[in-house]
Chains A and B, each alone.
Chain A
Amino acid sequence: MKIIHKLTNLCFAFCLLAMAVLSVRCSDALEEDVFVDVASNNFFKNDKDAVTAVDAIYAKMRADGSVTGGSGQQEGWGGFGYGEATIFNYQQVQTDEMVVRWSGFGVFTNFTLTPSSYGNVGFVFGDLFEGIFIANNVLTNIEDNDNLSEEIQDRVKGEALFGRALFYSTALSIFGNIPKITQPESDPLNLPKQAPPSEIAQLVIEDLTEAASLLPESYSASDYGRFTKGAAFAQLARFQLNQKNWSAAIDAARTVMALGYTLSSEYSDIFSVNNESNLEIILTIPCIAQPGIGNTMVAHSGEPDFYAGGWGGHLARNEFYDTFDPEDQRKALLIKEYQSATGSMKTVSDGAMIIKYEVDPDRIGPWAGNDIVLHRLGEIYLTLAEALNEENGPNQESIDLINELRGRAFNNNPSKRIKLADFTTKESLRDYILAERSWELYAENYRRDDLLRHGKYIQQAVDRGISNAQSFHILYPIPQDEMDRNSELNQNDGY
């Protein structure tokens, strides 16, 4: 029995011990462990953290919906790439350059979009502001942060400012009346009001100017793809042009031209699989032929039985196709006669496939490795030509700049050059530049802004039979979801 008693005591002691252990652990047992993710109070502790944080801006440029979520394997069609939920869908498809076969996008092409008919692409509003939030968050956290080296602090600040300006300038163009937010809001229920568009424009200009002063002219190969000084000035030139600040646009464009970019000798090289080495390119979204990080332009425009595959969604309009000079090499990238998967030759009747990006032989499904071009020197030439004409036109410098591009497009055929004498008025050269921009820059997301700047956006729609197009359609409606979530927002006029 003694043994039993001992056992009793042992057991009892063990129980007490167990209870004690449980109780002692209690104070820290309820602290939540964080794995894989990083707790916010443990971030921005070194240069690497700051770089990883600003990398989220680059990820956001190709994301749809939430940028986080981790799998990294989504098949998203968002951001500044090509797809249904991209800037392409907002800035390109409803212009005279394009026809969209997918019936679900009729609300865009037919100017019948309402606040609640965005379908599943209305999150672009939130996408742009999520990008702005990421930039604001980086800017706040690197400010006076002693953990960071000065070099990284400057560069990351420049990248964040550029990102913020890129997202803001895009949101301003699409939605017009948007809130101005320059700090990461700590209380998510705090609802912001819209700011006058001029205030947003001022912010974009300030951000790009400061970014240009902080960003390097180029990077080592391992950082290729980051925002550069040239990109900041190119974006500034584009923005000032759209704002009709002609002299500021001229200054920015001239600064870019002094940075050592050179025109590609072949137009098609700009869009080749290996275009990252092309010296004309100022900013791209770099692509690799892998799911989610490839270029899907060919897939979006290719016919379903095109040998490179495709969904047959976005085509160049026949009327636009016909505006090209038959000898224009730029027209050669619009394809009406194509080789089908079975090897036979077929014809597209209701438009032309936009095979501007060379078909990547190593593509994986729809994903190709051609970097998506956002800014290039050819565009800067036309920007400068247009701004010079507006300031003091017509003038020989504008003509020369345009002829540089036409020379490339027509094998330096002198008969295809334009002459100052052909343009008696500023207006005539202005109209010509708009046309030249469409030949040079088609499907590169410029057309809507160009038409708006020239006051022809609504007219081009009416001219091709979209009787519904009215003056208020120069802006998109604020998506109804956003209106519901923020009672401080006012809907754009007309919707």
Chain B
Amino acid sequence: MFFNMKERSINSFQNKNIFFRRIQKQLILACTLCYISLPCCVHAQMLVKGNVKASDEPDGLPGATILLKETGLGTVTDYQGNFDIEADQGQTIIVSFVGYATQEFQLTSADFIPITLEADISTLDEIVVVGYGTQRKSDITGSVASIREADMNPGPVASVSNLLQNTAPGVVLTQASAQPGGGFDVKIRGASSVLGANGPLYVIDGFPVTSDNVQPGSSSRHRSSPPRNPLNGINPQDIISIEILKDASATAIYGARGANGVVLITTKRGNSQKLTLDYSSSFSLQRLDREYDMLNAEQFATVSNEVFLSRNPGEDPIYSPAEINTAGDGTNWIDEITRTGTIHQQQIGGSGGFKNLKYYFSANYYQHRGIADVSELERISGRTNLDYTHNRLTAGLSVTFSRTNDKQVPFGADSGGPEFGGLFDNTRYWSPLLSVRDDNGGFTPHPVRTLIPNPVSLLDIEDRINTNRILGTAFVQYEITSGLKAKLNLGRDQSNSEREALIPLSVIRGAQANGEGEAGETDSWSTLAELTLTYQKELSNNSSLTFLAGSTFQQFDSEGSSSLFIGFADQTTDFSEITSADTIGTVPFKERSRLLSYLARVNYSLNDRYLLTFSFRADGSTKFGSGNKWGYFPSGAFAWKIHNENFFSSSFIDELKFRVSYGQIGNQEIGNKRSQSLYNVTRRTVIGGSPIQGLAALRPDNPDLKWETTTQFNIGLDFALLGNRIYGSIDAYEKNTDDVLLDFQLPGTAGFDVVTLNAGCIRNRGIELGLTSRNIVSEFEWVSSFNIGFNENEWRDRAGFYPEGEQIAEENGPLGGIYGYQVIGLFQSQEEIDNSPDQSAVAVAQPGTFKYQDTNEDGVITPEDRILLGNVDPDYTFGLNNTFSYKNFDLNFFFQGSMGREKLNFTRAYLEDVDDITEGFNKSEAVLDRWTPDNPNGTVPGADGILGGFADNSEYIEDASFVRLRNITLGYTFNNVKKISNLRVYADIQNLITITPFEGADPETDEFRQYPNAKTYTLGISATF
């Protein structure tokens, strides 16, 4: 077949046209709604100006929130504490700032308003975003963590995920890959699903986005890589606040998508008429954090000879003494494929407004050239947020566009041996005695296993993914009568991602196929239409009632294809220069799912002491079986503001609120088409001299398939002490997840591999504490915030389900349990082996190999002797942030800890196994102290074939707890620079110190086919005009 480049380009061009037309339609709709009432507005609004300062400081208070009570619109004060806001006479403004008492003013004239905030009041009066609305923090009945811009991780970050890292209790982020823009594993209050997603639902400005990967994947060993973060397309510098909804009271309003928690992301908006410009820029250098100490050339040759001679006594050694003497250090293969990485970012943002229109805009450039040569993430993004207010009508538009260019390095395939390795694990198959290139300038071939590609040759692979994403939402809100508002919210999230991968002839695989390439394209789009009605009524005696009802509809589409082709006419490194090739196969895909939902919520506040919240959501989903289309998710919560009781009087306690909530939430994230019996294309075969594919039944019908249901109970306390110097909250919860979706392996005779059933039950229990303390309040200020979350996760009912090969797993063991053999030493002699239980069924037994414990005491070592040796999920995680400020200096330390977690360190196991060193594979320095008859106290197994393919034993299932100095930042603010209201320069170091008992390269990212972690050194500047 002929591969036509031109035709493909035209197709994608047309797709983009359609893409822009789709966006255009939404813009037109939003603009129409915005401007439709412009001509008719001649109304008496006034511009109110004022200044906010704190009672304990002489200067104005920057960043205080000014909110119009009637419309919910507002502004923040500038650097000197000044603000202006448009309002009608008689309206009330609410002035608030973290750590100060909120004040209300009724506007009677346009006079300048001086406001002094008292510092003795709690943080509980911040306005926080909740599902489908906002609430005063003091009125919240559920468990909600708020992260403000000031609390977010400093330094350059690629995605929203980095901002979440250990900043709130109970939110556990583990970096899945250290590559530029690498993904994160995010769990809120533990994992509750085996088959489905365990990550939270992300809602950006009211739009629930899918965290599915939108990039075309690849199954090939030279193109596979851990997925990059799907949130990379959202610029984190546009974010002003993040709310993390944790308990059922907060999340049940998101129904079948709420079980893993919900992350609400709010972007910056314009809030005054004055134009403010912000500019920030940073530049970072990255150095490889830590790697294994490998044998140098001299050591490698020596150990190779020793191993060879122990197997072939009396023969000539592989390397002569002369060769060993002149070997020196030799080639460090990691050095050959790594470099000093750089991160470079530029952001310009502005906000301001006209009479009725407020705007925010930003443009951002982010470029991360990783420490592996070639690997890179580049993003250009822009955002425009508009708000229009006129009388009872409010309308808004939020649009962000991003273009992400990824360059990936190969990570290799999970199976298939060294020939199938990726960039980093390949370095371990190469002797330090070899040079990168041979005398002819070509890549040196592997001397023993000729099909193992030279690691440096893998850098010639071009694997690019270019992604465009537009996320736009538009809303119109109208106040029908006093307190009754109707809001229509429309949105669209659209991305187009193209992958072009090319394996040139310099790579063995490319040479075998005379050039190999893959082109993939994925279009994903999700469309949201929702309508909500809110009724809010202030009742007598400080009581109030808020009622919310609505319906929402969201459709998720994705389609695309990937084509593999081989045999290029020319050797080329540029995809666009491929003129002809044989197409091996084109795999199309197309999927669609829909979610139709109805929701309602009542908030009742009695005497500002007793708070009640009830919420309910009904979700109908296409993903589930015909008999179970609808799921219903109720929740209820009660809170008691004890400090407002007459009987309560304490000079010590300023705030005390007790909360309790109970409710049900679901998880429907299991992929499409799992309930239906389908025929799917088979792999290829040949009939009539041409490749063909058949169709075969994919899975049995399962009309009963449904969402997983989590029932969560939460009890909590919010408090503020000692004149609000110390404040925080403590929560305890229990989450029971029923109907856990499990893939049961079927007997081979069934004709299908698996059947998906709702069967198991998983429990998560935990305690969370978040605490902020203003330790020293003076010219020298010291603020600490600390959070810690304990979570215990276990099976309550496995329903007979055990992961493949783990039939020994404990009935009530943890979801992330790691099972393996208990090592009780090294065999010292054949006699000891003969007198020990026979372990030949699972591993080689020789003097110098591991001796396993016969845990079930049946006299023979079998897979049944494996026991629970660890858990990938931590027992507890914490974050500790300390900020010191003195005059214009500020210093920040951020420690992150993840304790009581284990990891199977396969890399170390492999590097300590000298078995294949004679094939030219290099080993770590640890093998210098391996067991030999002459070194019976050696720490590392020494005989050949020590692992026999098994590393799952107590020696290599390691404690991977760690405490990391994630950030240390030193800043200086200039406040006398002309025309610049705020100029700050700072230096930041990421990952400076990691304390861990883990023996591998990195307790988070170390995998056999890893991308090593880095230390990042940053200089940055930010200015506000």
**Could you list which residues of chain A lie within 8 angstroms of chain B, going by C-beta atoms?**
3-4, 7-8, 11-12, 14-15, 18-19, 22-23, 25-26, 29-40, 43, 49, 52-63, 65-76, 103-104, 114, 116-117, 119-120, 123, 125-130, 132-134, 136-137, 179, 181, 184-189, 191-192, 220-226, 276, 285-288, 290-293, 304-305, 309, 311, 341, 364-366, 481-482, 484-486, 489
Q: How far is the CA of A93 from the CA of B693 in the complex (A)?
A: 30
A15 touching B486, Cβ below 8 Å? yes
B751 touching A290, Cβ below 8 Å? no
B673 touching A7, Cβ below 8 Å? no
A127 neighbours in B (Cβ, 8 Å): 748
B588, closest chain A residue (CB): A36
Of B71-79, B162-170, B678-686, the segment with at least 4 beta carbons within 8 Å of chain A is B678-686
A67 neighbours in B (Cβ, 8 Å): 682-683, 696
Q: How far is the CA of A485 from the CA of B802 in the complex (A)?
A: 11
B623 beta carbon closer than 8 Å to chain A: yes
Excluding A33-B592, A73-B564, A311-B451, 18 further A-B contacts by CB distance (< 8 Å) are A3-B40, A4-B391, A22-B529, A30-B622, A32-B675, A35-B592, A37-B681, A40-B678, A40-B679, A114-B841, A137-B751, A189-B746, A192-B747, A285-B686, A293-B684, A365-B512, A366-B512, A485-B746
Within 8 A of A (CB), among B750-789: 750-753, 755
Nearest 8 pairs between A and B by C-beta? A133-B751, A126-B748, A55-B694, A365-B512, A56-B694, A35-B590, A59-B682, A56-B696
A18 touching B531, Cβ below 8 Å? yes
Which of A53, A285, A288 is within 8 Å of B694, CB to CB?
Answer: A53
Instruction: Count CB-based A-B contacts (< 8 Å).
Output: 301
Known: A11-B478, A116-B841, A188-B746. A38 touches B678 (CB 8 A): yes
Known: A4-B391, A39-B676. A188 touches B686 (CB 8 A): no
Which of A29, A32, A53, A285 is within 8 Å of B696, CB to CB?
Answer: A53
B750 touching A133, Cβ below 8 Å? yes
B689 neighbours in A (Cβ, 8 Å): 221, 224-225, 276, 286, 288
A224 touching B745, Cβ below 8 Å? no
Q: How far is the CA of A116 from the CA of B675 in the complex (A)?
A: 32
B751 touching A68, Cβ below 8 Å? no
B678 touching A34, Cβ below 8 Å? yes
A223 touching B688, Cβ below 8 Å? yes
B945, closest chain A residue (CB): A103
Contact residues on B (Cβ < 8 Å of other chain), bracket: 35 or more
B416, closest chain A residue (CB): A75
A392 to chain B, nearest CB (A): 41
Which of A37, A220, A221 is within 8 Å of B679, CB to CB?
Answer: A37
B567 neighbours in A (Cβ, 8 Å): 364
Q: B855-875 interface mask toward A, CB cutoff 8 Å, 1 = contact, 0 = none? A: 000000011000000000000
Within 8 A of A (CB), among B404-435: 415-416
Within 8 A of A (CB), among B729-753: 745-753
A288 touching B691, Cβ below 8 Å? yes
Q: B547-566 interface mask toward A, CB cutoff 8 Å, 1 = contact, 0 = none? A: 00001010000010010101
**Which among B514, B622, B629, B747 has the greatest number of chain A C-beta atoms within 10 A?**
B747
Which of B620, B681, B745 is within 8 Å of A481, CB to CB?
Answer: B745
B688 touching A365, Cβ below 8 Å? no
B587 neighbours in A (Cβ, 8 Å): 70-73
Which of A32, A74, A309 is within 8 Å of B622, CB to CB?
Answer: A32
B36 beta carbon closer than 8 Å to chain A: yes
A489 neighbours in B (Cβ, 8 Å): 747
A482 neighbours in B (Cβ, 8 Å): 747-748
Q: How far is the CA of A18 from the CA of B551 in the complex (A)?
A: 10
B238 to chain A, nearest CB (A): 29
B480 touching A8, Cβ below 8 Å? yes
Known: A4-B40, A66-B753, A305-B450. A26 touches B566 (CB 8 A): no
A117 neighbours in B (Cβ, 8 Å): 841
B391 neighbours in A (Cβ, 8 Å): 4
Q: How far is the CA of A486 from the CA of B679 in the complex (A)?
A: 25
B41, closest chain A residue (CB): A4
Q: How far is the CA of A204 from the CA of B95 in the complex (A)?
A: 86
B639 beta carbon closer than 8 Å to chain A: no
A478, closest chain B residue (CB): B748
B700 beta carbon closer than 8 Å to chain A: yes
B356 to chain A, nearest CB (A): 14
Q: How far is the CA of A476 from the CA of B545 in the complex (A)?
A: 73
A293 touching B679, Cβ below 8 Å? no
Could you write out 27 A-B pairs with CB less than 8 Å apart?
A15-B488, A26-B596, A30-B621, A32-B622, A38-B679, A40-B697, A52-B694, A55-B693, A59-B696, A63-B683, A65-B753, A67-B682, A72-B693, A116-B862, A133-B749, A179-B749, A181-B749, A188-B700, A276-B689, A286-B685, A292-B584, A292-B683, A341-B450, A364-B567, A365-B512, A481-B745, A484-B807
A29 touching B695, Cβ below 8 Å? no
B592, closest chain A residue (CB): A33
B751 touching A184, Cβ below 8 Å? yes
Known: A32-B623, A221-B688. A59 touches B680 (CB 8 A): no
B681, closest chain A residue (CB): A70
A486 touching B749, Cβ below 8 Å? yes
Q: B686-712 interface mask toward A, CB cutoff 8 Å, 1 = contact, 0 = none? A: 111111111111101100000000000
A125 neighbours in B (Cβ, 8 Å): 748
B37 beta carbon closer than 8 Å to chain A: yes
A345 to chain B, nearest CB (A): 17
A192 neighbours in B (Cβ, 8 Å): 747, 749
B114 beta carbon closer than 8 Å to chain A: no
A55 neighbours in B (Cβ, 8 Å): 682, 685, 687, 692-695
Q: How far is the CA of A191 from the CA of B750 in the complex (A)?
A: 8
B933 beta carbon closer than 8 Å to chain A: no
B589 neighbours in A (Cβ, 8 Å): 35-36, 70
A231 to chain B, nearest CB (A): 14
B476 beta carbon closer than 8 Å to chain A: yes
Q: How far is the CA of A442 from the CA of B177 in the complex (A)?
A: 49
B106 beta carbon closer than 8 Å to chain A: no
A133, closest chain B residue (CB): B751
A21 to chain B, nearest CB (A): 9
Q: How far is the CA of A305 from the CA of B451 in the complex (A)?
A: 9
